[in-house]
Structure 1
Amino acid sequence: MIRILGLTALSAALVLTIGQPARAVDDELVKAQAGAWLVAPENGAKGCRLTFETRAISGGYAISGAEACAAALPALSKASAWNFTDDGALTIVDAAAKALIRFQQEEGSPWESDAGDPTWLLPALDDVDHVPTVASLAGAWRIQRPDGKPVCDITLTTDKDPDGTAKMSPSGDCASEIGDLKLSLWATEGFGLVMLGNDGSSLSFDMKPDGSFQKSDEEEGEPLLLVRKQGG
């Protein structure tokens, strides 16, 4: 299901790859990747924010703000540059072009580290410094319209099915657009939450800075919000 791994030393071949001239990477790709990013452990522990720049330096493109990682992810406090590798991975390196962490990305999923402690690389979400977990999200929630009209009350649990996916239970009076999906399982992926039906159906949400969720832009249909019920 979700595979995320963390800080590791890479082979000499990788160091050579990331040390190649930054101009080898398409300028538009670099611009698209530039900006504020959160590096955060999968387990919900505090992460830190890095800013990817478009300025070419030794080892790739400049990183700023690494000093903020000293407490949460000390190894990344030495981050100097970021770059793409020939196999499509993204690496963060120190001033000597030594790889500090390497991320892979599957289509439609966030960047995940590929060795060590499970770690995400996600576009920064305001001042949020950690990712949600199954344990932190478990409880009573409501799917509703942006105007507050209820659509379906659900309960997210930490109980797992035989494959290790957390279970959920919608109430019996859900609107057909939700009830017909027969949602029974759910999972987190970075700042995302996906609900799964036993017939292959799914419904995805993206977290907002206030901890609520909005239906992912990729989903069809009317906009929906997922908000925690008071006392849930």
Structure 2
Amino acid sequence: MTCFVLRLAAPAAALLFCGMAHGQDVDPDILKAQAGTYLVAPEDGGAGCRMTLETDMAIGGHSLSGQDACTKPLPALAEAAAWNFDGNGGVILIDATRKLLARFVENEGSPPKTQDGTPLLLIAAPDGIDRLPSVSSLAGIWTMQRPDGERLCGVTLDGHADADGNAPLSLSGDCAANVARLKLAVWHIEGFGLTLMGGDGSSLGFDMRADGNFDKSKEEGGKPLSLVRQ
């Protein structure tokens, strides 16, 4: 089995990946499942760039494309020449000399992200979106409505989150009964997912659209519902 050690500036930051450098031992179904177009963007809401992880072989792993789009927002990643698995469930980006540029660590229930400096996320994103939503960017007044425009409730998202990333919200006094009884009080953003939560464990999950508004997550079931910014 072929092994390579990639050494970074930090003394303990040596990355060993064996048998992966030429794609050995990688289940084709796993490879295909990981391949696709992703947004790489700072967790703090800064501009990111899209690149496509491909299944063809490349030096040190598998080919990728679109990295030129990173030249301005994330110049270090514009040098990416290949991607690979790190053997621990994560994904790495390397340059033509096999220098490690970024390592995205798997987070259960959350998008993979880097662990140094300002974290970068590797995440599927709606077309036309070049950055992650943040608490400050989403703060303001929204309307909860049906696809036909029927208004169910006004929702004001506060822009001050606690240490867990939860921020207060308030509902208008004219909410429909099925919304009011949820007693929604806080909200949380995770990647492109927005969750409104009540103190008794009730919640509503939404996924961001390309226009910046949100549709109720399919996993929620029930009738379609949207959050539209006012």
Give the TM-score range, shorter chain: 0.7 to 0.9
State yes or no: 1:154 paired with 2:155.
yes
State yes or no: 1:65 paired with 2:66.
yes
Please show how residues 1-232 of structure 1 align to structure 2 within 5 Å: 13-17=14-18, 19-161=20-162, 165-229=166-230
TM-score, normalization: structure 1?
Answer: 0.87
Instruction: Give the superposition deviation at 1:178.
Output: 2.2
Instruction: Give the superposition deviation at 1:89.
Output: 1.0
Give the Cα–Cα distance (whole angstroms) in 2 for the partners of residues 208 and 98 of structure 1. 36
Give the Cα–Cα distance (whole angstroms) in 2 for the partners of residues 128 and 121 of structure 1. 13
Secondary structure, aligned partner of 1:14 = strand
Give the Cα–Cα distance (whole angstroms) in 2 for the partners of residues 52 and 183 of structure 1. 39
Instruction: Give the superposition deviation at 1:119.
Output: 1.6
Query: What residue ranges of structure 2 are gaps of 5+ in the alignment?
Result: 1-7
Is the Cα contact below 8 Å between 1:30 and 1:54 reproduced in 2? yes
Give the Cα–Cα distance (whole angstroms) in 2 for the partners of residues 9 and 169 of structure 1. 47
Q: 1:119-178: CA deviations, max 9, x gaps?
A: 211113212111111111111101111111112111001134575521101123322332
Is the Cα contact below 8 Å between 1:60 and 1:82 reproduced in 2? yes
Code of the aligned partner of 2:211 = D
Q: 1:25-72: CA deviations, max 9, x gaps?
A: 221121122221110112221111111111022222111111211111
- Asked which structure has the greater CA Rg, the reply is 2
Range 26-35 or range 173-182, more displaced: 173-182
**Cα RMSD, aligned residues only:** 2.1
Give the Cα–Cα distance (whole angstroms) in 2 for the partners of residues 18 and 211 of structure 1. 42
**CA 1:161–1:99: 2 relative to 1, 3 Å:** closer
Is the Cα contact below 8 Å between 1:39 and 1:122 reproduced in 2? yes
Give the Cα–Cα distance (whole angstroms) in 2 for the partners of residues 198 and 73 of structure 1. 39
Is the Cα contact below 8 Å between 1:19 and 1:58 reproduced in 2? no
Is the Cα contact below 8 Å between 2:141 and 2:155 reproduced in 1? yes
**CA 1:163–1:24: 2 relative to 1, 3 Å:** closer
**CA 1:31–1:184: 2 relative to 1, 3 Å:** same
Is the Cα contact below 8 Å between 2:136 and 2:160 reproduced in 1? no
In the alignment of these two chains, the number of paired residues is 222
